[in-house]
Amino acid sequence: MLETWRWYGPFDKITLGEVAQTGARGIVNALHEIPYGEVWSREAIAKRAEEIRGAGFEWSVVESLPIHESIKRGDGDLAPLFENYRTSMANLAAEGVHTICYNFMPLLDWTRTDLAAPVKGGGTCLRFEAHRMAAFEIHMLKREGAEDDYPPEVCAKAASWFQQASEADREELLASIMTGMPGAFDRYDVEGLREALKSYEGIGRAELRENYRRFLEEIIPAAEELGIRMCVHPDDPPRDILGLPRIVSDGDDIAWILGAVESAANGLTLCSGSLGANPANDVPAIARQFADRIHFAHLRNVAKDPDGSFEEAAHLGGDTDMVALVRVLLEEEARRRDAGRADHTIPFRPDHGHELLTDIGAGAIPGYPMIGRLRGLAELRGIIAALTS
């Protein structure tokens, strides 16, 4: 397995020189400064690739090549957006980048209510607190019907939190929920989010699936021609939020996606944390079921609470059997190697580390500190060494 490290380019306080000290050989990167829907020019890609390769790395995976909201909603003349996406893919392939991670989450990317929740022994982690999300939806956003999406006890706790929360507490909650995608150009206040949600009125699970099918039908043939592996990232969290449907949350969703356009180019980013936040998901079993279509892996762990809350755990802690999961990935690599595939190696990266020691106060992108992820990489490296010795 290829050790990689997510690096945010000009948005990242961690330098490539520091990343080199982790021992990772691949970089996961994107041109976050380019607005969604616009073409990634070959010149811009080449400049970033030169920076990465000049530091001694390979640009292993693009994460992400974002999908414009109009494609997700299926509105307007989408032909120019699809053409721009295909052009960006062709430019990436021309510069030697052939794995593209993306997601189909409506409006928001990963969502947390706390960016610095304390962890036992010191340090902080990302956390999704069900009652705080409910407080945001019911009392701050005032979304119609939001009460029906949460159990009564969570709604009661949400009301109590909201009554006691200061204006600063509410602003902090909004900022946390809006943090998920560094470089994204849409940052909403409460009123702006209300307006943005109106654009999804009438779009349920079935409609979003059909819009996704159209995206795959437009993009996967180009990926086949270019030798690109597209790999969808699961929803995070794997549940409907803000009244918006999530359609990449479990094994059934993944089966639908991979079957919508049958192609090796239509693949999966196996994110053990996103899938692991759904109590119904057996992550190693999902990995085994779709092993031949896994093109990239995010290896992290979460600890879940009965009310739907969860937080980032240590990579060897949490609710997912990480040893069993890594064994599945190594077995798939061996199968590909035995089949004579030149691309048998699965890139992976540690994900959403705790902020530890000098991470605290260093200003790293939330979830992407130096020491916390280095600890995760070391633990994963140990699993791989033990299973392959």
Q: Which residues are catalytic?
A: 233, 271, 298, 351-352, 368
Distance CA 301, CA 314 (A): 6
Residue 126 CB contacts under 8 Å (≥ 6 apart), including other chains: 112, 114, 115, 117, 311, 312, 352, 366, 367
Least Cα distance to 135 among 167, 158, 165 occurs for 158
Concatenated DSSP letters for 155-171? HHHHHHHHHH--HHHHH
Q: Which two tokens stand for residue 228?
A: 């690109």
Q: Which two tokens stand for residue 275?
A: 């899938």
* Residue 309: cis peptide before it, omega within 30 degrees of 0: no
DSSP state of 115: E
Least Cα distance to 352 among 387, 315, 323, 317 occurs for 315
Would you put residue 98 in left (φ > 0), alpha (ψ -120 to 50) or beta?
alpha
Cβ atoms 91, 39 nearer than 8 A: yes
Residue 319 CB contacts under 8 Å (≥ 6 apart), including other chains: 276, 301, 302, 303, 304, 313
Distance CA 372, CA 380 (A): 13
Q: 42: buried, middle or exposed (CB in 10 Å: 19+, 13-18, 0-12)?
A: middle
Rounded to the nearest 10 degrees, the angle between the axes of helix 79-94 and helix 205-226 is 40
Concatenated DSSP letters for 4-56? EEE--GGG-SS-HHHHHTTT--EEEE--TTSPTTS---HHHHHHHHHHHHHTT
